[in-house]
Structure 1
Amino acid sequence: MSADTSAPATEASPGAPEPVDPTLVGTTATRAERGRMRVPWRFIGGRAAFYVFTAWAAITINFFIPRLMKGDAVDAYMARSQGQLTPDAEKALRLMFGLDHSVPLWQQYLDYWGMLLRGDLGVSISTGMAPVGDAIAAALPWTLGLVGFATIVSFLIGTVLGAVIGWRRGGRLDVLVPVTTFLGTVPYFWLGLIFIALFSTLLGWFPAGHAYEVGVDPGWNAEFIGQVLSHAALPVITIVIASLGGWVLGMRNMMLTVLDEDYITVAQAKGMPNRRVLWRYAARNAVLPQIQSFALSLGFIVGGTIVMEMVFSYPGIGLLLLGATNAKDYALMQGIFLVLVMAVLVANIIADIAYAILDPRTRQTEA
């Protein structure tokens, strides 16, 4: 009788790969390698090349659009001066702003790129001939501190709250979805005016506007920081409440979709703790579209703050853009749009990298 040469089913052959938990296959909990996450260099490189092309296209459009409009910054400045400037002064201004009609358009385009590579964004007429970079640098921190902080807070609160509501579907927390959605339909400026009337005029809890009181010297001291925080509280609360509904609804709907997946059912059947299933499996998959939406929402920071900064008289970049538009200050407009485009591109690159790390299916493009 011949001996049975087949290996026992319970023993693994030498050198064979370790068995993989079927509940982890195809989910974001899967790791590219045991104990180490593979960096998706090919995916990152491809996206970076795409964004480089996008940046070139945006900068090119940013150059040509103002020159296609009727008039320019020098014409607007000459109109405000009511003919008090001589033709020689007008020619000097055109040379300063790169708008000399005797220079070919392609040469102006190359000169514009040369200025950008040197970090020179031009001179702003509406700010008293100050460099555009200085004008933007003075206003940008206020916008980042106000709207950037409010956007991050609303994203975190809305995502966590939406995940919990989706996990406990049919519970009492479901009432928060229509409430936050309704508040999200209210315009920013209208909600801001209501809050000013209620919390500032009636109750006197917060200042009605501005970044700090008149007479306070800016600096890293307790008085100035306290003024900034108190004046920013009401705009931040307004932005968070107005934008919370979208994050809650989006995360809740994605959670409802993810909870019907087989790997969630298997994970619960294996007796895993509900908290682990919620945050490591369900929420980790459901949050992926939220990350992309968060990156895209950064592009609306300036557009969304123009009205807010008008309501609260806040000295941010949105109010600066409005003043540049009214004055036809194309150099300042181009500088603000350039900063906006670069910020959105960088935010999307970071979102793509985070997406690739969280979702292994994206990393398969490297194979």
Structure 2
Amino acid sequence: MRYFLSRLGFFVLTLWAAVTLNFIIPRLQPGDPAKNMVQRLTGQTEAVDPAAVKAVQIMLGLPTGSLFEQYIEYLKALAHLDFGVSYTYFPYSVTHVIVQALPWTIVLVGVTHVLGFIIGTFLGAAAAWRRNTKFDAVVSLGSTFLGTIPFFWTALILIYVFAFSVQWFPPVGGYSGAIEPSLSWPFLYDALYHSLLPGLALLLTAPIGWILQMRNNMVHTLGEDYTRLAQAKGLRTRRVMLTYSARLAILPNVTGFALGLGAILGGTLMVEMIFGYPGMGQLFFTAITNRDYPLMQTIFLFTTIGVLLANLFADILYGILDPRVRREAQA
């Protein structure tokens, strides 16, 4: 019990530190979002009217007062789940903008992340169990080779072959402009059709890390005394592989999977920019470019909370799968 309470306390402390950094870091960036907005409206070559900048600051509700007063107001707003108005998409709220982009990222990156973990873990375990065979050589060397290819090259090759050459898939976008976004079957089918190519690009590289890490971990556990004892007792091959060896070999992968699952809320910038996909990565890039502090802070906050919750989940799962972790914490 002490182990789980210590993990929960660490989560709360880290969350407070992340919220504080989330408040401070955007305010250290140079530039004025109100001035940038006026500059975009009037043109880059025109002089900026200070009165117009002041009016935009009032319209956007930019924070005033000392840094400590702003911090207190920021914490109060978070307590009421009030994330403010987006400077880029004014007058829409930050919550409205994120709600529009978040489902795209969860479906695309979330599904490929889970599939990549499952495929990579099973292939890595099978390669370790059949180590020094042709299957092991194909899986290990193939993963290493694919891992050396830059992701953007893989994505561009897929676009060239399947979008321009054979024209099986659209090159960019999350859905066709002729269809109105809704929960109707035509729109869902169209969105799924547009997500297949970026999803394939992610799946070609997503399992690589899991394959190599799981193989190395399992090769180590296969040499442990408890695995050899299970084999000497004549237990079934599947039981020895899954219960005695893979159960402990998968623990480091669980942490990586949980952290990656939490980071999904931040989106995958490279994928979304190459394929023009309307997800959180693209939204975060827009927020940084336009110094949209409320939107930037909220995306970073959601990503941080997701990673911390995933890490807490991984720690709890660690304690369940490996009782030695709990004993070490209580010692």
What TM-score range do you get, normalising by the shorter chain?
over 0.9
Give yes or no for the alignment of 1:77 onto 2:37.
yes
Match of residue 131 from structure 1: 93
Matched position secondary structure for 1:112: helix
Shift of 1:69: 1.7
Which whole-Å deviations, capped at 9, do the CAs of 1:39-79 have from their partners, x for residues lacking one? xx322211111011111111101111111121232232233
Equivalent of residue 64 in structure 1, options 13, 24, 31? 24
Q: Which amino acid aligns with 1:332?
A: L
Equivalent of residue 155 in structure 1, options 117, 126, 131? 117
Which whole-Å deviations, capped at 9, do the CAs of 1:241-283 have from their partners, x for residues lacking one? 1122111000000111000001111101111000100011110
Match of residue 131 from structure 2: 169
Match of residue 29 from structure 1: none
Cα distance change, pair 88–254 in 1 and its aligned pair in 2 (3 A): closer
Separation of aligned partners in 2, 1:88 and 1:155? 51
Structure 1 gap ranges (5+): 1-40
Separation of aligned partners in 2, 1:265 and 1:307? 45
* 8 Å contact from structure 1 (residues 296, 348) kept in 2: yes
* 8 Å contact from structure 2 (residues 129, 241) kept in 1: yes
Which whole-Å deviations, capped at 9, do the CAs of 1:27-47 have from their partners, x for residues lacking one? xxxxxxxxxxxxxx3222111
TM-score w.r.t. the length of structure 1 is: 0.84
Q: Which amino acid aligns with 1:134?
A: H
Give yes or no for the alignment of 1:55 onto 2:15.
yes
Q: Which amino acid aligns with 2:179?
A: V
Matched position secondary structure for 1:75: helix
* 8 Å contact from structure 1 (residues 122, 131) kept in 2: yes
Match of residue 264 from structure 1: 227
Give yes or no for the alignment of 1:238 onto 2:198.
no
Which structure shows the higher helix fraction? 2
Separation of aligned partners in 2, 1:80 and 1:233? 36
Give yes or no for the alignment of 1:116 onto 2:45.
no
Larger Rg: 1
Over aligned residues, Cα RMSD in angstroms? 1.7
* Consecutive aligned runs of 4 or more in structure 1 exceeding 3 Å deviation: 81-88, 298-304
* 8 Å contact from structure 2 (residues 265, 280) kept in 1: yes
Q: Which amino acid aligns with 2:80?
A: R
Match of residue 52 from structure 2: 86
The alignment-based identity, stated in percent, is 43
Matched position secondary structure for 2:167: coil
* 8 Å contact from structure 1 (residues 74, 93) kept in 2: no
Separation of aligned partners in 1, 2:108 and 2:274? 14
Greater displacement, 219-228 / 57-66: 219-228
Greater displacement, 84-93 / 343-352: 84-93
* 8 Å contact from structure 2 (residues 174, 194) kept in 1: yes
Match of residue 45 from structure 2: none
Separation of aligned partners in 1, 2:330 and 2:311? 19
Equivalent of residue 144 in structure 1, options 85, 100, 106? 106
Shift of 1:186: 2.1
Cα distance change, pair 229–90 in 1 and its aligned pair in 2 (3 A): closer
Match of residue 104 from structure 1: 66
Shift of 1:302: 6.2
Shift of 1:128: 2.4
Structure 2 gap ranges (5+): 43-47
Matched position secondary structure for 1:263: helix
Q: Which amino acid aligns with 2:274?
A: V
Task: Tell me the number of residue pairs that the alignment of Structure 1 and Structure 2 aligns.
Answer: 323
Write the mapping of 1:311-350 to structure 2, written as runs, cut at 5 A: 311-350=274-313
Matched position secondary structure for 2:132: coil
